[in-house]
Structures are given as C-alpha cells and as structure tokens.
Amino acid sequence: MNSHQESVAGRRKGYGQRQGRRVDADRRDAVVKLLADLPLRRDLLLEHLHRLQDEHGCLRAGDLVALADLLRIGVAEVYETATFYAHFDLCDDDDPAPALAVRVCDGLACRLQGALQLTASLREWLPPLRARVLRAPCMGRCDLAPVVQVGKRHADRASTTEVLALIEAGVLTPLPVVSESFDAYRARGGYQPLQALRSGVLPTGTVLDEVEAAGLRGMGGAGFPSARKWRLVSHAPAPRYLVCNADEGEPGTFKDRLILEQQPHQFLEGLLLAAACIGAARCWIYLRDEYPAAHAILTREIALLERLKLVEAGFIELRRGAGAYICGEESALIESIEGKRGYPRQRPPYVAEAGLFGRPTLVNNVETLALVPGIVAGGGARFAALGSEGFAGLRSYSVSGRVREPGVKQAPAGISARRLIDDYCGGMAEGHQLLAYLPGGASGGILPASMADLPLQFGELEKVGCLIGSAAVIVLSDHDDLRAAVQALLEFFADESCGQCTPCRVGTEKMLAMFRAPEPDLDLLNELATVMRDASICGLGQAAPNPLMTALRYLPQHLMTGHGDG
C-alpha cells in the first residue's frame, strides 16, 4: 500500500500529507465514478459541486472531504466555496437529503404581484418534510410574475394550486423552450460574418471599426465602449481569454435569458466574432443557475458547433453559477470560474490586463455579443441611426411592474420611460397611474412620474443620481407602497452583500435597520450612503444606497408615509 492509499485508509499521516478529516475510500471511489467525465481541476470546483448536489440532493460532508482529496486542496477551501453560494445545500453524512426546494421569487416585480402572500400560502399548505418554501432573489422572469421554481421547473404567474399540482405530479424539469435552430439561423445569413472574418475576406480592423461606428457599449450595466475594450485586450500579451457574463442577476432584468433561449446562435456567433477579434485562446460562458432551460440549449448548440467543426472541442466552456448576485461583477465572476468564492478583486489591475487565470480577459454580456453579428452584417452606421434623440443604436429594455404588456422591448437608445410605457407596453395597467419607476433595476435608483421624459441612456440618468445599468425598468403605480418597495430593495442588497468589505457588509445591514426605524435619521442615512459609495470595493456597495437616496430626494412624501412591510 502506497502513502496515498494509507491516507485514504485512515492510517496515521506521514510526512507531507495533508492534515484534517480522514478520507473514506468507498466514498472517494464513488465521487471518482460520479465525476468520471469531468477533469479533476481546481477551477471546475463549482461544476463538481453541482454534480454532487444534482446526484444526491445535497453536498454531504464525506463527499466534500473526498473531493478535496481528489483536487489536492484543503477541505476548508471546498467548504468556503460551497457555503458561499445560496444554491448549495450542505448536510452531514447521516442526515436525510433536504426536502424539495420550492423557491418563490422575492424580487420587486413579483412582490407587486403578490409573491409574499403566495409564499405564506405555500408554507401553510406544504409540510416542511415535503418541501422547503424559500424566498429567493429575482429569477429573471419579471414579466411573468409571480414566479416559483420547483426543482428546475418554473411556474409563471404562479398560484398555490399550480405549484401544488407540479409537486404532486413530480414535474421538476425545466420548462420546454423553442429556440431558433442552427439551420434557421444560417438561412437568414447567420455565421457568414464569422466565416468571412476567419477566411480573411473581412479584416479584423473592419469589424472593430463597424462596432465603433455602431456606438455599441457594454449592455450589462457599465456601458464601456465595446470597440475600445476589444482593442485594449487585443493588444495585450497572449494568451488572451473571453468571458461572457450571463449571470443576469440585477432585479428586473431578463433580456439576456430571452436571447439565450430564443436566439442562441446569434449570441454564439457574436461570441465567436469577439473571440476572433481579440485572438482569444478560449471562451467561457458563466450562466446563472436560475436559467436551466438556457443551460440545456447552450449545451446542445455548442456541441452541435463542435460536431460541425465551427469551433474546436472545448473552445467554449459553459459554467453554472450557484445563486450569488455578486458574481455579476466581472472580477467576482472570474473568481467563481476559477472555483472560488465570488469575491470582487481590488483594482488595478483590471481584468483586461490580468483577468481569468491572470491572463488578459475580455468580459462582455449576452446582449452586447448578440448585437455584433447584425452590426457587422448591416454596418455600424446603420445600427447607430436606429437610436433616438441623438443616441446610437437599439437596446433591449426589460419592462415589468404596472404596465399592460410587460416584457423585453427592443427600442431606440435614449427613449424615455413614458414613451417606452405608452408606445411599447400598451400603457399603464388598467386602473393604475404612474407613480415612479426604476430605470436600471435595484441599483439604478427610483425616479418620479414627473421625470419620466428623461432619456434612458448612459451618461444621462447619472445627472439626476440614477443609473440605466442593464435597462431593467420596473414601473410603480399609485396603488403601490413606495416605502415597502424601497425596503424590499434594501433587504436585497443586505442579503446579497458578499461580506468581503466592511462598508458594504455592515453598511447594507445598518441602512436597512435605520430605514425600518419609526423615524429614520436622514442626516445619518446620507452620511452612511456617502461612506458606502466611497469605500466599498465594488458596485454592489456603491449602488446599494441608490434606491433610498433617490426616493428621499424625489418622492419624500410617498416614502415616509408608507407602512414599509411587504
């Protein structure tokens, strides 16, 4: 028996062997068998954890110890990663697997449609041993509120009766989705720009010029000019990587989900065009775990591209998140891909200089990449001309809340919230009058109806203390309790803070507690907001005060008269 076998068998450790809990040989063999088709690499830790939980219903202590041994890392590293993500359930070896998870969306759009009452009803009907009824952050289905996820199955516009019926029938697989096929995409000219670029007919410089002429910016929220970002990365030393941020966790945002589910090849061609322009050695897609249907579609269509020799096997790697809003921040996302907790990195260096595995990395979101094939095929100037009020191009607005026809609306950049509601959403819902709106999800702040004619565009909303971000427009009406809405957003940030830096970890909780007080100290709230904005490591802590501060500024009479509960 060699030294490794002795350690596995539980004998006294010799020199150079890791300390800690003994590895059970049978458990180790079972983990090896379960992960047989996955390389035993440190960066695949989240994929290993998903596989274990999908198989056993939870992450058992013995399996985590065996996994640490197989990866040759400390058990503490595995535990700190597993406990960071909300979708992983840890349990002892002898404990029964947790009951079925029934996640009720707790996002603002779902709350407006009765999500809290639905949660209470489900908890009344479902015994704890049969199901765990959990309040969960926004699931990216805000136009279909309220939403419940049973296993991997979503119930849209859900009722207690419907959820109970799903559980009774054992229907736990993702909702079926009809997406555009490879053949249909090719029939409308798909992949021609990519083939032209790869053959040299279309120069890389021309693609970059067209993207620049289009005025394309990062649609995930930051709004950095895409062509400039691509050029910066392309000039960095090789190997260079491309990462797609598909962790669409900003409350109220669901545009990327529709693109991935309905037009996967338009997105994949945009990904490959960007990869070719920067000379990427490999690509990663980091997809939020709340999108199981999109995961199945991408897995299938990437495999098809590999069979058709449009990409080399393994060139595009698909990774699942595990329920952490912070991983929408690009450096936290990269940490997660590397198999770690999703802690944002201190900058500099920026990820364009030292990103994934320390290499120069281009990070773009789904919508940005999906727009590229059309820009290259039709010309950047033509795309730019589709904007309004002097702004360039089109963008997809996720509209939810008190409108007649919520959904993803592709509209000219710079459109106002009023025009978006009236011209694209059929107006306000019956019997409702516009009170306020969130122009950029939870992070973007809140504006009153009197400011509904402002352009929804980068650089414009900042003038009034708000952000367009991912263009998640949540519409509130005169029927809504603004104080309860703001409290819901503060609760979200307090829950989703990763805890790495004190201004955010303590600040989000303190701001929520102060706001809940019968008579909040407004001066102290303003002082706290300033500290959080100035001292937090990443955008979560910096933007967390936005909904409260803007509501205090523009809607104080509504904010201070509500009841403040859900």
Q: Measured between alpha carbons, how far is 542 from 484 in angstroms, rounded to an integer?
A: 22
pTM of the model: 0.94
Cβ neighbours of residue 521 under 8 Å, at least 6 residues apart? 514
Q: Name the nearest CA neighbour of 322 among 82, 58, 52.
A: 82
Angle between helices 482-496 and 502-516 (to 10 degrees): 150
Asked whether the predicted pLDDT for residue 5 surpasses 50, the reply is no
How high is the mean pLDDT of the chain?
94
Pairing of strands 316-320, 280-287: parallel
Q: Are 296 and 174 in contact (CB under 8 A)?
A: yes
pLDDT digits over 368-414, tens only? Answer: 999 999 999 999 999 999 998 889 999 999 999 999 999 999 999 99
Angle between helices 366-378 and 204-213 (to 10 degrees): 110
3-state DSSP call for residue 395? strand
Q: Measured between alpha carbons, how far is 437 from 429 in angstroms, rounded to an integer?
A: 14
Q: Are 286 and 333 in contact (CB under 8 A)?
A: yes
Question: What is the pLDDT at residue 9?
Answer: 36
Average pLDDT over residues 533-548: 97
Q: Name the nearest CA neighbour of 259 among 108, 100, 373, 405.
A: 373
By mean pLDDT, which of 9-18, 141-150, 201-210 is the weakest?
Answer: 9-18
Asked whether the predicted pLDDT for residue 11 surpasses 70, the reply is no
pLDDT digits over 293-304, tens only? Answer: 999 999 999 999
Query: Per-residue confidence at 321, pLDDT binned at 50, 70, 90?
Result: very high
pLDDT digits over 72-125, tens only? Answer: 999 999 999 999 999 999 999 999 999 999 999 999 999 999 999 999 999 999
Q: Residues 81, 256, 326, CA angle at the centre, nearest 5°?
A: 30
Q: Are 245 and 172 in contact (CB under 8 A)?
A: no
Question: What is the pLDDT at residue 16?
Answer: 41
> What values do phi and psi take at 300, rounded to 5?
-70, -45
Question: What is the pLDDT at residue 21?
Answer: 74
Question: What is the pLDDT at residue 15?
Answer: 37
Query: Per-residue confidence at 563, pLDDT binned at 50, 70, 90?
Result: low
Residue with tokens 């180790």: 28
Asked whether the predicted pLDDT for residue 526 surpasses 70, the reply is yes
Burial 492-510 (b: 16+ CB within 10 A, else e): bbbebbbebbebbbbbbbb
Asked whether the predicted pLDDT for residue 209 surpasses 90, the reply is yes
By mean pLDDT, which of 133-137, 353-357, 421-425, 561-565 is the weakest?
Answer: 561-565
Query: Per-residue confidence at 287, pLDDT binned at 50, 70, 90?
Result: very high
The count of residues in the chain is 566
Tell me if the bond preceding 349 is cis, omega within 30° of 0: yes
* Alpha-carbon distances, residue 386 vs 378, 396, 414, 519 (angstroms): 12, 13, 10, 48
Average pLDDT over residues 456-483: 96
Burial class (CB in 10 A: 0-12, 13-18, 19+), 178: exposed
Give the type of residue at 248. E
Query: Per-residue confidence at 22, pLDDT binned at 50, 70, 90?
Result: confident
Asked whether the predicted pLDDT for residue 6 surpasses 60, the reply is no
Q: How far is CA 479 from its chain centroid?
A: 30
Q: Are 492 and 251 in contact (CB under 8 A)?
A: yes
Asked whether the predicted pLDDT for residue 201 surpasses 90, the reply is yes
By mean pLDDT, which of 17-31, 148-162, 468-482, 498-512 is the weakest?
Answer: 17-31
CB atoms within 10 A of CB 79: 16
Q: H/E element holding 34?
A: helix 25-34
Question: What is the pLDDT at residue 566?
Answer: 53
Q: Residues 115, 118, 124, CA angle at the centre, nearest 5°?
A: 145
